[in-house]
Amino acid sequence: ETFPIPTIEKAGSLGFGGMYCREDIGGTGLSRLDSSIIAEALASGCTSTTAYITIHNMCCWMIDEFGNPEQRERWLPDLTSFRKRASYCLTEPGSGSDAASLTTTAKLDGDYYIINGSKMFISGESHCYVVMVRTGQPGEIIFRSPKGISCIVIENETPGLSFGKNEKKLGWKTQPTHAIMFEDCRVPKENLIGQEGQGFNIAMRGLNGGRVSIASCSLGAAQATLEMSLEHLAVRKQFGKPLASNQYLQFKLAEMATDLVASRLMVRNAAKALDAGSPDLVSLCSMAKLFATEKCFKICNEAIQMHGGYGYLNEFGVHQFMRDTRVHTILEVFLMGSRHPFRGYAIEAVNRVAGKPAGELRPVSDDGQCAGKNVHGCVNLISHCDNRDKYYVKFKWISPKNGSGCITFRATVVQTLPQWFKDDGGLSLEICEKAGTTCCACGPTTYSMTFNGIWSQSTHPKNFPVRSFPRWGNLIGATHAQNYYLYHYNTLVSTAMKEAAEWNFPAKLLTDIISNENRQVLNTFMIRSNFNLHRSETVSFSVDQTHHLVSFIRKISPSPDWFVGIDSLDLCRHDCKWKDNLTLNLTLLDAGTDDGITYTSPNHPTQPQKTVQKVVSLSSSNSSSPFYIDETRKSILPFAQITFKMVTTTACAKSIEVKVPDLCTVSQWTKWSACSATCGTGQRKRHRHIIGNLNLNLNQCPELRQTQNCSIIPCPGEDTGCKMTEWSQWTSCPTICKTAAQQLRSRIRQIIKKGINIKCPPITQIVQHEKDCIDKCSVKDCVVSEWTDWSPCSCNTTHTTRKRAVLQEPQNNGKKCPDLEESRVFDEACLKNCKPVKCLVSEWGNWSICPRNCNTNFNKTRTRSIKRPAKHGGKPCPVLKQTKRCKYKCPEELINCMAWSPWSTCTRTCGKGYKYRFRSEKPNLEGGIKCPVLHQKKLCKLPECQKVKCKVSEWTSWSTCSKTCGEGFRTRKRDILIMPPEGEKRCPEVVDAESCNPQKCPTRR
């Protein structure tokens, strides 16, 4: 369990520190195939140490391949010679194999990155660490796409870098494994390998070589155990014959040898693909790693079985290979929805009901290469640019106009040419527009809107149209409901809107607005065109609870199709009040119907028509544009400013309302209840409940209620022609008063005949209600409010809670109040952005007192307590209790042991053997203690055994090819005639295989 630094340094002198790095900085310049053969040979001696050497080589390759010349000169000469060592840091406690979800952050602070986070399962005691960190935003997963992962080198003497304890492992005992913590580590930005956001690509390419390397280590271990098994079976005898003569074991050896050769061929093929840059290299490396590590571990495990009980002893090294190769089946696996990459894809966004395009998709690239393209001019459909291996697709979606309903994203993924998937599982996603709600503010309200022009030669001097009579066009606007609009950003405009934006013709647009009045539109307003660019102009309009949005447009002339405007501005606040004194700056928009670049460009219709966009995003890169941005002008000023002021408002109906503290947040009002009377005057009610702010006493923030008189139709009088029955008896008051309806009593009368001259109401009965019965209720159950919303995600706690308040205490044995608070554990995704918090513990307490007693064994202990537990992947708490054996040596006369027997003869006559001696326990005497040791052994001093060289037979003939056409393989073998004893030179290979290709298979036509 010692890290063999001298051995590793010797490997560096042989050129094994940078096997596939370039030679100008000390690398050996070998191919991946050469490196695979070397790793296999080294692993047959010590698999654990070889595995660390391959990790170090991968780190060197990352710096050599992606680093700049200064970084290569700074680190690689020492690393490739093993004067210094490197380790790779990717895995985290919370992400494991999901590399896209890593949370270790690197925030740029001047010339340094501030690193915070932790990594785990880091191999080796190294001088520098190649670390994957997140320099961008946390992983926003749409089709599981990672963002902002970068690669950075952190040296071991960096302040804030700390290490966890060495893990106790099943295998890989020659290389220490521990966690690494970063707490405000300041790392120079010159240590960044490649570009920001390129780390994920570096990690994935590194894993391809890592899979070949770890599979090569498995080959070496399997080869060694196979040879050890052959030696053991030739020497070990059972029932008077060597085990090698047992037919079952011969078959088992043949199966092991076949699996080993097949694994070796797959690994060699993957290494060749890696050297050649084959399009299939990711799949070939993954398949070779999967097959070879599984089969080689099985070979090592079978070798232990062949050794029998000897395979379980430390003196026989076969067990070590099994323990070291077990971890190879776990390493180098990357999980991100799929174990394999894909070649091509197509993604579209469509309206679920209409099946029409929905919004716009735009591919986004993390590495500067083409990430995708729109297909056949369809803005809602993107596809791949090339057949490179891909692990994820990243894109932006610009949503369509309001009222589009549910949108479905559908993906088609091509993994290989004959294998593709469509709309399966995670390849389909549906999102729905949140339904609009009626404004909760009270009554109709009147606003004044003041338009102030800013556009002038002084604010926008380039190519200002002084000689073309610059002017503001007609301002056309409306207050409307949520399902109506004049225009939407990033949406095609209507024909009426096109005429207003291009030619300042408002007739069609006004007709369209007016035709929607009394339905979607409440008011229409207009300001006439004028040549005074800076004159303040005011217009008034009304809004109500349904029509609480305002929109308008105003063209600037001359221009191709440019205008300023407001799109569906909501004047209703979420706290059920109207907005007041609101001022907004207006930028210039392009209607997308004319391609003109300058104010006076000739008419040139856009084919096909484009969507509404900011003029800046379309024209500022053209030097002919009046909005061209150069060194003298860094931004474009607004063109106009508007101010909304509330003039009058309608008071809310008289309500029974409790004043709510400022910190209380309430929900939207419910709908009005039905009128309590079928004719005449009745009452209707509505309510809202408290949400949010769990720190308040909810009994101080009760449910709010409003009561309003309602009148449906007049009740018929006694002197009309309507004939009615007599009033019924009043209903009795209820015994339980939970709701307002249960607090009233009523009576009814039926209409039996209508008069000739008097129009009776269209009802068959009349209902009257009397005063509340609440004072007469004999039993009152507990009444509680609605639940509050769940408390928001917080890094200071692990649970989210919600509460409700008691509105009425139970009386007269009424139903008791239910639970007023609930809690549940936060989702894991909620806490992914929380900064890790390490555990803090107190100092150790004093050791407990040891008794001076020989009859029993005692331990002394000491403890410490947790001051602050670890949170969000922070450094875990250390051991809280320590135990020691009390050191009190009992007198010899009190120990119940008999005398030792003489030493036995040696178990062997030459080589390595042992002697044994024994003793027994005396009868248990009063006051004595149990004898601690009853047997001992020691090594014999014997002469060396006579050396016996291995002797093998001649090779058999080659077997027939495994395939009649195409590439196959054939084998031959030879027998061991004399097996040398343990410690002597091992016998050579007894099974050989080679590829064979008698003839090519005929091509199917």
Query: What is the SS3 string spanning 633-700?
Result: ECCCCCCEEEEEEEEEECCCCCCCCCCCCCCCEECCCCCCCCCCCCCCEEEEEEEECEECCCCCCHHH
**pLDDT reported for residue 219:** 94
Lowest mean pLDDT among 113-117, 260-264, 424-428, 465-469: 424-428
With a cut of 70, say whether residue 704 has pLDDT above it.
no
Structure tokens at 135: 């320099």
Residue 5 or 893, more confident: 5
User: Of all helices (H) and strands (E), which one includes residue 70?
Assistant: helix 69-80
When pLDDT is averaged across residues 208-217 and rounded to a whole number, the result is 92
Residue 440 or 677, more confident: 440
Residue 511 or 49, more confident: 49
φ, ψ for residue 366 (rounded to 5)?
-95, -20
When pLDDT is averaged across residues 703-710 and rounded to a whole number, the result is 65
Q: Which residues contact 84 (CB under 8 A, 6 or more apart)?
A: 75, 78, 126, 127, 128
Residue 578 or 662, more confident: 578
Residue 17 or 656, more confident: 17
pLDDT band per the 50, 70, 90 thresholds, residue 563: very high
Confirm whether 332 is a catalytic residue. Answer: yes
What number of helices (H) and strands (E) belong to the chain?
11, 49
When pLDDT is averaged across residues 806-825 and rounded to a whole number, the result is 78
pLDDT band per the 50, 70, 90 thresholds, residue 315: confident
d(CA 109, CA 198): 20
Residue 518 or 457, more confident: 457
Residue from 92, 302, 332, 360 carrying the catalytic annotation: 332
d(CA 354, CA 70): 58
pLDDT band per the 50, 70, 90 thresholds, residue 764: low
With a cut of 70, say whether residue 660 has pLDDT above it.
no
Structure tokens at 755: 């008069």
* Mean predicted lDDT score pLDDT of the chain: 79
φ, ψ for residue 299 (rounded to 5)?
-60, -45
With a cut of 70, say whether residue 546 has pLDDT above it.
yes
Rank 112-126, 342-356, 863-877 by mean pLDDT and report only the highest.
Answer: 112-126
Rank 261-270, 353-362, 790-799, 937-946 by mean pLDDT and report only the highest.
Answer: 261-270
Structure tokens at 543: 């809004």
**pLDDT reported for residue 642:** 93
**pLDDT reported for residue 700:** 47
pLDDT more than 90, % of the chain: 19
With a cut of 70, say whether residue 296 has pLDDT above it.
yes
With a cut of 90, say whether residue 218 has pLDDT above it.
yes
With a cut of 50, say whether residue 542 has pLDDT above it.
yes
Rank 241-245, 331-335, 782-786, 893-897 by mean pLDDT and report only the highest.
Answer: 241-245
When pLDDT is averaged across residues 694-700 and rounded to a whole number, the result is 45
Angle, helix 5-13 to helix 47-66, in steps of 10 degrees: 50
pLDDT band per the 50, 70, 90 thresholds, residue 263: very high
φ, ψ for residue 51 (rounded to 5)?
-60, -40
pLDDT single digits (tens) 829-864:
777 777 788 888 888 888 888 766 665 567 888 999
**pLDDT reported for residue 338:** 39
When pLDDT is averaged across residues 115-135 and rounded to a whole number, the result is 89
**pLDDT reported for residue 139:** 40
pTM: 0.41
**pLDDT reported for residue 264:** 94
Lowest mean pLDDT among 216-220, 439-443, 591-595, 655-659: 655-659
**pLDDT reported for residue 135:** 85
When pLDDT is averaged across residues 904-929 and rounded to a whole number, the result is 77
pLDDT single digits (tens) 709-730:
665 555 655 444 567 777 777 7
pLDDT band per the 50, 70, 90 thresholds, residue 222: very high
pLDDT band per the 50, 70, 90 thresholds, residue 640: very high
d(CA 27, CA 107): 33
Q: Which residues contact 474 (CB under 8 A, 6 or more apart)?
A: 500, 504, 506, 526, 527, 528, 529, 554, 555
**pLDDT reported for residue 340:** 59
With CA atoms as reference, report the closest residue to 65 among 213, 214, 277.
277
**pLDDT reported for residue 465:** 87
In this structure, are residues 660 and 701 in contact, taking their beta carbons and an 8 Å threshold? yes
With a cut of 90, say whether residue 60 has pLDDT above it.
yes
**pLDDT reported for residue 620:** 52
pLDDT single digits (tens) 130-179:
999 988 754 433 334 456 789 999 998 899 888 888 888 888 888 888 88
pLDDT single digits (tens) 731-754:
776 655 545 455 566 777 777 655
Residue 58 or 91, more confident: 58
pLDDT more than 70, % of the chain: 78
**pLDDT reported for residue 33:** 93
**pLDDT reported for residue 335:** 38
Lowest mean pLDDT among 187-196, 466-475, 508-517: 508-517
Strand-strand pairing, 128-134 and 86-89: parallel
**pLDDT reported for residue 654:** 43
When pLDDT is averaged across residues 479-492 and rounded to a whole number, the result is 83
Strand-strand pairing, 840-841 and 866-868: antiparallel
Please give the DSSP secondary-structure letter assigned to residue 457. Answer: T
**pLDDT reported for residue 96:** 64
d(CA 842, CA 942): 56
**pLDDT reported for residue 648:** 81
| DSSP one-letter string for 249-300 | HHHHHHHHHHHHHHHHHHHHHHHHHHHHT-TTHHHHHHHHHHHHHHHHHHHH
580: number of Cβ within 10 Å:
14
Structure tokens at 489: 């950003």
User: Of all helices (H) and strands (E), which one includes residue 209?
Assistant: helix 199-235
**pLDDT reported for residue 268:** 94
When pLDDT is averaged across residues 817-828 and rounded to a whole number, the result is 81
With a cut of 80, say whether residue 615 has pLDDT above it.
no
When pLDDT is averaged across residues 752-778 and rounded to a whole number, the result is 54
With a cut of 50, say whether residue 617 has pLDDT above it.
no
pLDDT band per the 50, 70, 90 thresholds, residue 641: very high
φ, ψ for residue 681 (rounded to 5)?
-100, 130
In this structure, are residues 187 and 287 in contact, taking their beta carbons and an 8 Å threshold? no
When pLDDT is averaged across residues 288-294 and rounded to a whole number, the result is 92
Q: Is 361 exposed, middle or buried (0-12, 13-18, 19+ CB in 10 A)?
A: buried
Angle, helix 32-43 to helix 199-235, in steps of 10 degrees: 40
In this structure, are residues 784 and 807 in contact, taking their beta carbons and an 8 Å threshold? yes
d(CA 159, CA 40): 38
